[in-house]
Amino acid sequence: MQPLATTAQMKELDRIAIQERGIPSLELMEHAAAAVAEAVCSCVEEKNSRIIGGASGLVFVTKDGRTPSEEEQADLDRMRSIVEDKAGTRVAVFCGPGNNGGDGIAAARILLAGGYTVRAFLVGDRNKMTPDAKAMAEKLTAAGGMLEPYNPDDRMTQVWLSTCDAVVDALFGVGLSRPVSGDFLTAIRWINHLGARCPVVACDIPSGLHADTGEVMGAAVKADITVTFSYAKPGLYLSEGRAYSGEVRVESIGIPGELGHAMIDRQPERLEVIPEYAHCVLPRRPRTAHKGDFGKVFILAGSEGYTGAPVLAAQAAVRVGAGLVFLGVPREIYPIAAVKCDEAMPFPLPEEYHRILEKAKSCDVALIGPGLGRAPRTEDLVLRLLADLEIPVVLDADGINAVSGHIDILDKRSAPTVLTPHDGEFQRLTGCELPIRDRVAAAREFVKAHGCVLVLKGHGTVTAAPDGRVILNATGNPGMAKGGSGDVLAGMLAGLLGQKHLNGPYTDLAERTAVAVWYHGLTGDRCAEELGEYGMTPTDMIRAIPHVLKEQEEGNNKF
């Protein structure tokens, strides 16, 4: 798990490092700038190894966002032919007056010294520049560069920008709390326009994103790489932030590690992320184990018209390594489930409640809800099982809907409960307003009140534990936004939670749940790579599970 830092935490961490530890703020800024410059160099090298866009057919952007007329475009193209110089690599750096802008100014100086052709543009009032930003501007001037005012109406500047090989976004840092406007809005539009033809590197967080929630504050930079300092920020993974942040690189800038450990890493209500590049190693399976050691999973799912959901969940549970999977479905759809299942063992639900309960109690974990329907008799069955079962229960889909209005049933359970709602199901469960503005706070509040683990599905799925820890997920893609993907997640989750050898002394329910979410997203990413986001299906994701898990097993074998 990778710890995350909120805006308030980062400001306090910087304050302690500078004021109490005596670390010069300019030294921290130099380290940040060096990391940004290195990222620019790496993406420019990659860009130069392939063809991006082209010199002809460029469309410029006016200050008001409109496309120029044919006459204006022809004039711009003529000027472009005058200023275009193929010799050298051009980098444009957009800087705000704050310390984030200071990072950009320092990066411009480093790139200039490295032989790049660099122009640094100040967006905003020069009189509002921070002392550190002013100091970096003076160093840039001494190195032969300059911090020039950004004039969005200057045609020659527009033309020069169109020839750039990379762009650096250093307009705003993590403190942005209001919608962008004026020249800042124009600059963001220009950066995104240029980003269609050259890589964009953001300093700390793409300008326009709320660092804590991932909300776009009117407009935001779409970065290819975000170089974030000391700790990644929640907004890089939440809401729209994931789509705007590109590749996230966390770089140390010289703040002592023990400060971060004390203030962020060791806090009980930590905010963490499993990055997409993480390696969640699976332990070796015991050589003497039998199928009972890998978990007996009870699944209550399906109804007329919803025969796919139970089968997808059962197949996913089998594919993640569950020893035995029992699938209880209504009698009327049992023949369909029986034909579709080979490894899982479907059975028609008995009329007698005690027989259903007995079957569920013989298992290690229960999954309730995929495609179950909302008939009164079904909802009553769900509530009775929750009250009587003393094994972990994963509640999904209609299992969650059954609890809506009966939330007290969660409070009475002594065994662990994991809920996997999407936003609509969470709204029915809690009565909250949609859209959910702060998903972390909403999830954290719910689990503290009801003592369960919550998987709030969506773009940047949130897993919340009763102790206040929240784990974000960075895997997954829009190709997974199809009916059945949630059933696959529910099956994977139940199948992993039931395996006894995964319940080690250094793992807990929330972490294992978050890892299951990570694996689920990774199967989707593998399918997208192979099949594309349009054509991939939940069945394809189930087929990809063995390949994803094999990678983790092989990672373990290296040690």
222 and 315: one domain?
no
Look at 239 and 399; give whichever has higher pLDDT.
Answer: 399
Domain boundary residue, one of 199, 233, 267: 267
Task: Render 345-412 in DSSP notation, one character per residue.
Answer: EEEEPPSSHHHHHHHHHTSSEEEE-TT----HHHHHHHHHHHHH--S-EEE-THHHHHHTT-THHHHH
Give the pLDDT confidence score for residue 151 in this predicted structure.
Answer: 93
Contact assessment for residue 264 and residue 5, using Cβ atoms and an 8 Å cutoff: yes
Residue 162, CA distances (Å) to 116, 224, 367, 559 in order: 16, 17, 55, 49
Share of the chain above pLDDT 70, in %: 91
Q: Are residues 234 and 312 in the same domain?
A: no
Query: What's the whole-number mean pLDDT along residues 299-317?
Result: 97
Q: Is there a single domain that holds both residue 232 and residue 359?
A: no
- Residue 16, pLDDT score: 95
Residue 348 lies in a domain: yes
- Give the pair of three-digit tokens for residue 332: 């009327």
| Class of residue 125 by CB neighbours under 10 A (exposed 0-12, middle 13-18, buried 19+) | exposed
**Position 56 confidence tier, pLDDT thresholds 50, 70, 90:** very low
Per-residue pLDDT, 555: 64
Q: Is the model's pLDDT at 54 over the cut of 50?
A: no
Whether residues 328 and 362 share a domain: the answer is: yes
Q: Do 34 and 83 fall into the same domain?
A: yes
Of 39-48, 229-238, 364-373, 392-401, the one with minimum mean pLDDT is 39-48
Q: Which pLDDT belongs to residue 244? A: 96
From the CB of residue 482, how many other CB atoms can be counted at a distance below 10 Å? Answer: 14
User: Of 235, 251, 267, which residue sits at a domain end?
Assistant: 267
| 235 and 320 share one domain | no
Q: Is 266 exposed, middle or buried (0-12, 13-18, 19+ CB in 10 A)?
A: exposed
Instruction: Give a yes or no: residue 457 inside a domain.
Output: no
Do 261 and 297 reside in the same domain of the chain? no
- Whether residue 259 is predicted with pLDDT greater than 70 in this model: the reply is yes
Classify residue 69 by its DSSP letter: P
| Same domain for 308 and 227 | no
In this structure, the answer to whether residues 229 and 337 fall within a common structural domain is no
CATH number at residue 320: 3.40.1190.20
85 contacts: CB under 8 Å, gap ≥ 6 = 117, 163
Say which CATH number the domain at 33 has: 3.40.50.10260
CB of 23 closer than 8 Å to CB of 254: yes
Match 């399976």 to its residue by tokens: 285
Residues 99 and 227 in one domain: yes
305 part of a folded domain: yes
Structural domain containing residue 534: 291-418+476-557
Phi-psi group of 239: left, alpha or beta (phi > 0 → left; psi -120 to 50 → alpha; rest → beta): left
* Domain annotation covers residue 428: no
Calculated CA dihedral for residues 551, 554, 558, 559, nearest 10 degrees: 90
**Distance (Å, whole) CA 188 – CA 234:** 21
Q: What residue type is assigned to position 34 of the chain?
A: A
Q: Which residue has the higher pLDDT, 278 or 33?
A: 33
DSSP secondary structure of 282-341: PPPPPTT--GGGG-EEEEE--BTTB-HHHHHHHHHHHHTT-SEEEEEE-GGGHHHHHHH-
Q: Which amino acid is at 152?
A: P
Per-residue pLDDT tens digits for 117-158: 999 999 999 999 999 999 999 999 999 999 999 998 888 898
The closest of 205, 237, 238, 239 to 221, measured between CA atoms, is: 205
- Residue 183 three-state SS: helix
Read off the DSSP letter of residue 55.
Answer: S
CA distances from 352 to 60, 219, 299, 382 (A): 71, 58, 17, 14
pLDDT digits (tens, 9 = 90+) for 417-433: 999 999 999 999 999 99
CB 365 within 8 Å of CB 494: yes
Q: 332 and 385 share a domain?
A: yes
Phi and psi for 201 in degrees, rounded to 5? -110, 125
Examine the pLDDT at 59 and tell me if it is beyond 60.
no
**Alpha-carbon separation of residue 465 from 160, 217, 407, 511, 535 (angstroms):** 51, 29, 17, 9, 35
Residue 508 forms part of a structural domain: yes
CB-CB neighbours of 260 under 10 Å: 20
Whole-angstrom distance, CA of residue 8 vs CA of residue 12: 6
- Going by C-alpha positions, the residue among 99, 82, 88, 96 that lies closest to residue 26 is 99
Which residues are registered as beta bridge partners of 470?
A: 271, 464
Say how many residues make up the chain.
559
Nearest to 341 by CA among 319, 360, 361: 319
Confidence of residue 50 (pLDDT cuts 50, 70, 90): very low
Which of 202, 234, 267 terminates a domain? The answer is 267
Position 133 in a domain: yes
Per-residue confidence (pLDDT) for residue 412, from 0 to 100: 93
Exposure b/e, 154-185, CB count within 10 A at least 16 = b = eeebbbbbbbbbbbbbbbbbbebeeebeebbb
Residue 498's closest CA among 511, 512, 519, 518? 512
pLDDT score of 267: 81
Peptide bond into 435 cis (omega under 30): yes
- Residues 358-383 have pLDDT tens digits of 999 999 999 999 999 999 999 999 99
- 């308030």: which residue's tokens? 8
Give the number of domains in the chain.
Answer: 2
User: Are 41 and 127 in a shared domain?
Assistant: yes
Residue 434 lies inside a defined structural domain of this protein: no
Q: Would residue 283 count as lying in a domain?
A: no
Q: How far apart are CA 287 and CA 284, in angstroms?
A: 8
Burial 346-364 (b: 16+ CB within 10 A, else e): beebeeeeeebeebbeebb
Average pLDDT over the chain, rounded to an integer = 91
Contact 227, 65 (CB under 8 A): no
